[in-house]
Structure 1
């Protein structure tokens, strides 16, 4: 399931849908389509918390036979650049590594309390819009990125007037993208909905999910201590590092919750931006790179003054993915044999990660404009019209395969989107009049070739 909260169409939504279709993702479901958000007291008129209600209603509508289905939830202003097979394998890898850390750090509590990770949200550098003394900020784990990833100034304010968070690692929740199974996401969104009702003044879904993550991590430490023996407690005290439950003069303690209130939601973060990369506070970490050009790689590193650049070779999982222009049909003279190393890829210069999803949510100096300028740099844009037509002519097939498991779109329809009320919206009904911002080829309306 590909879910996109969007109550109306604009060029950003059409870019998201176009890049998803070309890369081979499921036909999307539009959440909150046609709903008006006009509350002057809430962020974006209430659309951000409305996202919680809309997604929850959709998840509730799915039967228990869908509990193991995977959901990819993205904001309507993102761009896909990698195929679903890469996203799926990375999602599994992120969770496998997280679960190994959980077992190591929590000991017996991990098994006794069934603590694991199945839901992955994107990660960003600042705990926003909350305060440092909130559990959402102080209780969450440290980033798994190396503690010297940005050199000796890592995790410090280097007093850059444009971006004081330039050298911070991604540690905090960003709500622009999330991935997980229907069963666990339903539980998470039920909790988010209740929290939204308890705090009607909170106008941001990111705030609510950040609070839930902070409470989960605080409670995990409570459970870790609960399952320690007397000897382990003594050893833990002598060799201790700072813990969320430690007394602190300014930290806000967790609210006392009613008996039976769940705190464990199998929730974690994509610290390395393997799935999606929020550009906010990370505007200067990235570049568009062609990995077959050593000159381009060297120039990008010099431009960003990176002494030890990590973006030096195409990641193996991207190289193994079917080539970018390889389709199920031969259509319109596409460069089928072009490899991933020959196309520009949005890459993190410090980590070497080629992210699957680019989320242009940076707001410094009007930097959301890279949604416009970055679109031209995306590998698929110059061929977008032909690529979309080729996807329409392909026979129906799985979105991706992993071992003995194949993943299919929820819908047989292609070339548009389904609303959560099962209303089919064609591509032209959504994106007519936006061709100049999408295809930029002067050829007018896209015509479905079927």
Structure 2
């Protein structure tokens, strides 16, 4: 037996007091019993556990009249949809043009973290798409840092992320954290939508966990999910930990017959470490364990991916062990009726692992995967017709894209899109001037001009813009991961989706100008002052990135900031309209090249002086 040394066990997160009281009531116990009996009924009717979960549960969760109690979640997942304060409503409606004094921010924050050592064209696309969809100003991990080896980069990425999560001045326990790859991520849906999708995903995942593992002797749900990683179809580098992952909640035959399939024709069930979302306090514990495992070399490879894959595999093995130990007699009878004393998936995983899981170690970190890609969608290992930009109005026959064995009966928009602002919404320049009073922060280069600011109507609905949809799961992902790794010498099949496929492709410059104007309005001032009801980040800043270590602000599109070179701007906008915020200058491009050369010269001189001092 191989023994794995892990970490001191910590108590699982307590469930809210009101929820605990509910769980201990007769109604709570009856609800748990109802779900358990329902699952048993499906099994006794001839379906295996996985088939029952995959094919039937999706429909159950949509109409079942109760939701399970959840562990303590960041209250921010509710805040974007609460009725805003009268002050915010009056500002947005143009009823007042000043901000009352002595306001304080009381809502939690939403943080966007992006590991990226370089300021590349990919980084510029990632940050631009985040701005266009009102995500928090990104915090860049390891930006402009030089590393001696790949292992050092991997270790320092874990360490710097943990360092930011541990900064109690910036990050509170109840804050919500989104971490995506800073080089390869494209945002497709607004920030409030991904928060709502995250909440719904947790609700469904925790119902499944409650049904599978039940509650403990105190009435607490045994296992919860609060941290969501992206899911992919292939195990990177054939990591051994991938042998112990749970099965996908999707049907095995969703892409067609189960025999002779390629990787692209299988449901995603492996962890992708480049995309993760969860509460700050839970991610802090997870990253501390990941860094410790990395430094002790307790994963197959010295990579962030391998470390998190190992933690996810160990979590499942611990759950398997507890499931088998507590297997009720009625389940054993069911096993006998449907096929004798056959081994379950949990038993097979434990047999393959052949390890000892110490009781003194914390193995459960509330990790789960986004199997249906409502939050995160990798573009590699997709079938030819899996990801398609679709309009959801009467001009498109959506049934033509439906697959007989797919996860959903028909393709539709996420319901939350009807509750968020339309894609091209902006302040009304006639009835509500974006800058009714002159302020020092006013940027004259953002004056409204028809050639730069033309957009579809303010009330154009989401049904009128093409959104990239997974035609097998029905999901419209909030974030796309546009880069994959290679298995062997073959190039993996990749979805026919490019930067220009995104719905805002033809309007990037105009939308970014609209985004930059917001701080000039009273409502923008209100948000920068106190965070506001509709703002995520208390640090302020708009149109740039923060660095993690130095807390330096780099403006976007400026030569002394990020994404300010002429080549980067041309790659991002692709509209031939010149340098950002210098569009109407005759020699704008020549001047930008001159500024780049001067900056490069200064940087080289400073490096030379630094080397001489050494």
TM-score, reference length from structure 2? 0.63
Cα deviation, residue 109, structure 1: 3.8
Which moved further from structure 2: 347-356 or 181-190? 347-356
Cα deviation, 1:169-227, whole Å, max 9, x if unaligned, reads 11111112100001000000011001101217723211111110110111112233444
The whole-number CA distance in structure 1 between the counterparts of 2:243 and 2:142 is 33
Paired residue secondary structure (2:264): coil
Are the equivalent residues in 2 in contact too, given 1:2–1:26 (CA < 8 A)? yes
Are the equivalent residues in 2 in contact too, given 1:195–1:208 (CA < 8 A)? yes
Residues 187-226 of structure 1 mapped to structure 2, 5 A cutoff: 187-199=285-297, 202-226=301-325
Cα deviation, 1:323-376, whole Å, max 9, x if unaligned, reads 1111346463322222211112111111221111111123566679989x7111
CA 1:108 to 1:367, structure 2 compared with 1: closer, same or farther past 3 Å?
closer
1:345 aligns with 2:447: no
Residues 299-338 of structure 1 mapped to structure 2, 5 A cutoff: 306=403, 312-328=411-427, 330=429, 332-335=453-456, 336-338=458-460
Are the equivalent residues in 2 in contact too, given 1:319–1:341 (CA < 8 A)? no
Are the equivalent residues in 1 in contact too, given 2:244–2:353 (CA < 8 A)? no
1:75 aligns with 2:181: yes
Q: Pick one of 250, 272, 291 that aligns with 2:392.
A: 291
Are the equivalent residues in 1 in contact too, given 2:373–2:475 (CA < 8 A)? yes
The whole-number CA distance in structure 1 between the counterparts of 2:330 and 2:405 is 41
CA 1:236 to 1:141, structure 2 compared with 1: closer, same or farther past 3 Å?
farther
1:148 aligns with 2:256: no
Which residue is 1:3 aligned to?
A: 113
The whole-number CA distance in structure 1 between the counterparts of 2:349 and 2:503 is 51
Q: Pick one of 165, 168, 178 that aligns with 2:263.
A: 165
Are the equivalent residues in 2 in contact too, given 1:32–1:51 (CA < 8 A)? yes
Cα deviation, residue 242, structure 1: 1.5
Which residue is 1:415 aligned to?
A: 543
Gaps of 5+ in 2: 1-110, 430-447, 519-523, 584-614
The whole-number CA distance in structure 1 between the counterparts of 2:382 and 2:117 is 28
Which residue is 1:266 aligned to?
A: 366
CA 1:397 to 1:98, structure 2 compared with 1: closer, same or farther past 3 Å?
farther
Which residue is 1:129 aligned to?
A: 237
The whole-number CA distance in structure 2 between the counterparts of 1:142 and 1:409 is 37
The whole-number CA distance in structure 2 between the counterparts of 1:84 and 1:198 is 37
Paired residue secondary structure (2:539): coil
Paired residue secondary structure (1:389): helix
Q: Pick one of 516, 523, 541 that aligns with 1:392.
A: 516
Are the equivalent residues in 2 in contact too, given 1:283–1:362 (CA < 8 A)? no
Q: How many pairs does the alignment contain?
A: 423
Q: CA RMSD in A?
A: 3.1
The whole-number CA distance in structure 1 between the counterparts of 2:152 and 2:383 is 27
Are the equivalent residues in 2 in contact too, given 1:4–1:74 (CA < 8 A)? yes
Are the equivalent residues in 2 in contact too, given 1:107–1:224 (CA < 8 A)? no
Paired residue secondary structure (1:150): coil
Cα deviation, 1:273-292, whole Å, max 9, x if unaligned, reads 00010122125321111222
Cα deviation, residue 50, structure 1: 3.3
The whole-number CA distance in structure 2 between the counterparts of 1:35 and 1:242 is 48
Which residue is 2:554 aligned to?
A: 425
1:28 aligns with 2:138: yes
Q: Pick one of 184, 188, 208 that aligns with 1:101.
A: 208
1:244 aligns with 2:346: yes
Which residue is 1:87 aligned to?
A: 194
Cα deviation, residue 150, structure 1: 1.7
Which residue is 1:37 aligned to?
A: 147
Cα deviation, 1:101-159, whole Å, max 9, x if unaligned, reads 1111112349557521100001111222235xx3x3233222112343223x24x442x
Cα deviation, residue 91, structure 1: 0.6
Which residue is 1:282 aligned to?
A: 382
Are the equivalent residues in 1 in contact too, given 2:214–2:221 (CA < 8 A)? no
The whole-number CA distance in structure 2 between the counterparts of 1:424 and 1:247 is 48
Gaps of 5+ in 1: 159-163, 400-404
The whole-number CA distance in structure 1 between the counterparts of 2:582 and 2:526 is 19
The whole-number CA distance in structure 1 between the counterparts of 2:543 and 2:414 is 31
Are the equivalent residues in 1 in contact too, given 2:213–2:222 (CA < 8 A)? no
Cα deviation, residue 396, structure 1: 5.1
